[in-house]
Structure 1
Amino acid sequence: MYHTPAMVAIFAGWVYLELIRKTKQFGAITCLGIFMSVFFFASGHFVLTFLPNLLAGLIADFIAKQGNYENDKFNLLSYMIFSLGNLAPIVTMWIAPKAYIAQLLAKGKTQDYVDQVMVPFTTSHVLILIGGTLIAALIGGYIAKNWLKK
């Protein structure tokens, strides 16, 4: 679970950048953020997981718009911010740990399972998860940018 946001950021860059290249208008990235929010909610994640993806999508859309959806630097920064939305399940563990645990237990998960999936809110975890996701998005976006130009 710890590595999932970074792995997604490495491999999803081409989809994101192709979306920008094809649409070049405000709202497409926000809609993708909404889609991700609905995905997390529909797949049984904690109810608050919709918020980080929604915010990341909206902010990423504003950033890409600053470069008219054609500036590689703005698009790459936009992708990096968007990728942070994939931390939604972990962020909600940190924001509302008691409610998150209660929901897992109510869904029939064991305490052992809960103990395994809960990510402690420590400086090192925050830095590793956010930093790792940003670095992975930078790498994935750079690879995708070069791949799509071929």
Structure 2
Amino acid sequence: MNRKLEVKDLITIGVYTAIYFVVFFMCGMLGYIPVFMLLIPFICPFVAGIPFMLYLTKVDRFGMVTITGLICGIMMFLTGMSWPPIFTGIGFGLLADFILKSGRYQSAGKTVLAYTVFSIWLMGAMLPLYFMRDSYFAAMIPTYGQEYVDILMAYTPAWSFYALTVTAALGGLFGALLGKSVLKKHFIRAGLV
């Protein structure tokens, strides 16, 4: 079987990435409330797990999830986030592609694991909050106001980055399980059960 990406694969990537990103982005709007910023790493992958798991029933070529990660990272950058999601999108997309390939694109367990790992890409958007803290918060003040920044700083001590990374993986895991159960007939048809 030819494993090179074809035009139909690129169309599949485009359609499902657009759906995933819209759902993901809408959930990310909760970040306008400071306390919900800490829930985004769980909520976004959890809710977006349904369309992404449907997408994974269509993935049968290496590189499809990596391209999705790249597109999502670029979209985050274009919508006002910083640049790290581009690289985390590529990195975790590549890891997910290797996981899917190791299951020959037919393993339900590897599909769940791939989405769990891929979901960590969103932590790229959180990197500046922890590792470029002063400039990140200074840039937020004109848009969000000092009160929002003070609350967010209080809720995000340095150790919370690691907790949020685990939370993102858990959001991905539970989102994958939710997506798999909601889309069970698609998994059966794709031979992933």
Confirm or deny a common fold (TM above 0.5).
Answer: yes
Instruction: Give the structure 2 partner of residue 133 of structure 1.
Output: 168
The total of aligned residue pairs comes to: 147
Structure index of larger Rg? 2
Instruction: Give the structure 2 partner of residue 56 of structure 1.
Output: 92
C-alpha change, 1:86 and 1:48, in structure 2 (3 Å) is closer
Instruction: Give the structure 2 partner of residue 23 of structure 1.
Output: 59
Q: Does the 8 Å CA contact 2:88/2:121 hold for their aligned counterparts?
A: yes
TM-score of the pair, normalised by structure 2: 0.67
Q: Does the 8 Å CA contact 2:74/2:85 hold for their aligned counterparts?
A: no
TM-score of the pair, normalised by structure 1: 0.84
Q: Secondary structure at the match of 1:120?
A: coil
Give the C-alpha shift of residue 48 in structure 1. Answer: 2.7
1:68 aligns with 2:107: no
1:116 aligns with 2:151: yes
| Identical pairs, percent | 27
Give the C-alpha shift of residue 108 in structure 1. Answer: 4.9
Higher relative CO (Cα under 8 Å, sequence separation at least 6) belongs to 1
In structure 1, list runs of 5 or more residues that go unmatched: none
Instruction: Give the structure 1 partner of residue 128 of structure 2.
Output: 92
In structure 2, list runs of 5 or more residues that go unmatched: 1-36, 186-193
Question: What is the distance in 2 between the residues matched to 1:148 and 1:89?
Answer: 29
Q: Does the 8 Å CA contact 2:41/2:165 hold for their aligned counterparts?
A: no
